[in-house]
Every structure is written in C-alpha cells, then in structure tokens.
Amino acid sequence: MDELTVRRALAQSGLVPIDAQVLLAHVLRADRAWLVAHATDALPRAAADAFFDLAKRRRDGEPVAYLTGRREFHGLDLVVTPAVLIPRPETETLVDCALERLPVDRAISVADLGTGSGAIALAIAKARPLARVVATDASDAALAVARSNGERLGLGNVSYASGDWYDALGDDRAGFDAIVANPPYVAAGDAHLGEGDLRHEPALALTPGDDGFGAFRLIVAGAPDRLVPGGWLVVEHGYDQSDAVRALFADAGLVAIEARRDLAGLPRVVAGRKAQEPGSGT
C-alpha cells in the first residue's frame, strides 16, 4: 500500500484545495506554507484519521470556521463557535468605513449592536485604543464568545452588555460617537437560508423573521437619541437593500448619508451622521 503523504491526503479529501489545506494545517498545528514545504512527508495515522473526519464533516456542509474554531478578521485571530455568525470579509468594509470617521487622538464612545463573535467591536477597539467600546448581544452564548476573544486579545477597552439592541445599553445615554451594527437582514423564507454555510449558522443572527428590515427599523430609528451631535451610524446590509436602508436613514433625520461597496463591488454599508445642530442638515 502506498504511504499516505501530506499531498496524497489532501488529494483524497474530496474537498476544494483551500478547504483541505486549512483543515489539514489545523490538524497538524501548522500553516499552509508548511504543507507545501512538506508535501511528501508521511502523515501519521492519528492525524490522517482526524483530518478525514473533518473532511467528511465539511463535505456534509459544516463550515470550515466551525470545524477549526477560528476565523481571521481585520487582522485579528478570532475564536468562533456555532453560537455566532462567521465573520466575513465584506464586514471589514463596515469596520473600515467606521474607522474613517473615528478620531485616533481623543477618547470616544462606540456601541456595536449584535456583536456576535465580537469581530466589529474588537477590530475598532484595536485600531482606536482611546475608544470606549460597548459590545452588545441578545445571545448570552454569543456574548461569552465575544468576551473570550476580547480577553484573549488583551483588549481592555471593550465592555459587554446583554440585551436586544438599545435595551442592552440601559441608561447609557451619555452619547456615542458611533453606533455600528451588522444586524440580521435576510428575509424570512429566503432560499439562501437553506444553502451552504448558512444552514449551520444561528438563525437569529441571519434573519429578523420578517421582510429583512425589522432590525434596521429599530436600529436606525433609535440612533439619533443615542448619538452625540455629529456622531455616526454605520450598518451593513444585503446587496439589494442599499436604497431602502438609506431611506430609513433619511427618515430618521440623519445627514451626510453615504453608501459603500465591498471588495466584490456590491453595495454593502450605509453610513449617516446626526446633524450638528437640530434641523441644520450639517
């Protein structure tokens, strides 16, 4: 019988190369560059068994991020579990859009509503060390993942609050320089919810259970009361929701409304600012 090598195991996995490489690197506690350099090395039986078990689970549809328990986001190595949405590259567009609007040289306050793994809150906290960031989530299991990530990354400028949207902030009405959110925005009954990785992700993080705009309506309408004059609301949305989300921003009296596309060129983020003076439009 031919010796099972790293290269042969990858070829026999039945996976696309990137998934196979990530899973085998995880099993071997190595990186993908190591796999290339050691392609002809013999693979120990225990490692092979563990790898082929993960490969089968991936073929059955489980997301790679849940199988490895990790995901890279905006330069951060995050732990993820089935309790949280898997951070995606398009959400980095939201972080970049928010950071462009947040000063580096003074204390500021930021609220991340529906933080999940903590990806957005932690990326902002890392890039803005003078910021006070509040990460909220209605799921205590998700909030535990976010808190664990923050502690592991040594980000002490983040606090965590449990509750639905603004309810989680309680009496914290001192005013935020920015409110950011990647809320559930897939319409109930959308066929995509039964496809691919979405089948395994928490439903409450994907759909608000209506036309896809329920969470947006609450977040946008409540933002002016929580933002300081000149403070920003920045949200992620579905690729076909930009016009409707911008209309919600305008109805709430937000100004300087801007749409932003992700790296794939799809409309993905809307930002708007609370006017400096009531009724000023500036």
Pair (52, 189) in one structural domain: no
Structure tokens of 99? Answer: 């950071």
pLDDT tens digits, 71-110: 999 999 999 999 999 999 999 999 999 999 999 999 999 9
Pair (108, 242) in one structural domain: yes
Pair (86, 206) in one structural domain: yes
Higher model confidence: residue 192 or residue 280? 192
Pair (257, 219) in one structural domain: yes
As for how many domains the chain has, the answer is 2
Asked whether residue 204 is domain-assigned, the answer is: yes
Pair (201, 262) in one structural domain: yes
Asked whether residue 73 is domain-assigned, the answer is: no
Asked whether residue 165 is domain-assigned, the answer is: yes
Pair (187, 224) in one structural domain: yes
Say what the pLDDT of residue 192 is.
Answer: 67
Residue from 88, 176, 90 nearest 80 by CA: 88
Cα separation of 153 and 4, whole Å? 38
Lowest mean pLDDT among 3-12, 93-102, 104-113, 185-194: 185-194
Asked whether residue 24 is domain-assigned, the answer is: yes
Query: pLDDT-based confidence at 1, cuts 50/70/90?
Result: very low
pLDDT above 70 (res 51)? yes
Pair (17, 147) in one structural domain: no
Say what the pLDDT of residue 205 is.
Answer: 77
pLDDT above 60 (res 279)? no
The mean pLDDT of 12-25, rounded to a whole number, is 94
Lowest mean pLDDT among 17-31, 183-197, 263-277: 183-197
Cα separation of 162 and 139, whole Å? 7
Percent of residues, the chain, with pLDDT higher than 90: 81
pLDDT above 80 (res 278)? no
Asked whether residue 138 is domain-assigned, the answer is: yes
Pair (21, 139) in one structural domain: no
Largest CA distance in the chain: 79
Say what the pLDDT of residue 208 is.
Answer: 76
Which region, left, alpha or beta, applies to residue 112 given φ > 0 means left and ψ of -120 to 50 means alpha? beta
Higher model confidence: residue 119 or residue 32? 119
pLDDT above 80 (res 25)? yes
pLDDT tens digits, 220-257: 999 999 999 999 999 999 999 999 999 999 999 999 99
Query: pLDDT-based confidence at 185, cuts 50/70/90?
Result: confident
pLDDT above 70 (res 116)? yes
Structure tokens of 171? Answer: 């009496």
Q: Which domain holds residue 110?
A: 81-273
Asked whether residue 1 is domain-assigned, the answer is: no
Pair (172, 39) in one structural domain: no
Asked whether residue 193 is domain-assigned, the answer is: yes
Pair (92, 13) in one structural domain: no
What is the CATH classification number for the domain harbouring 187? 3.40.50.150
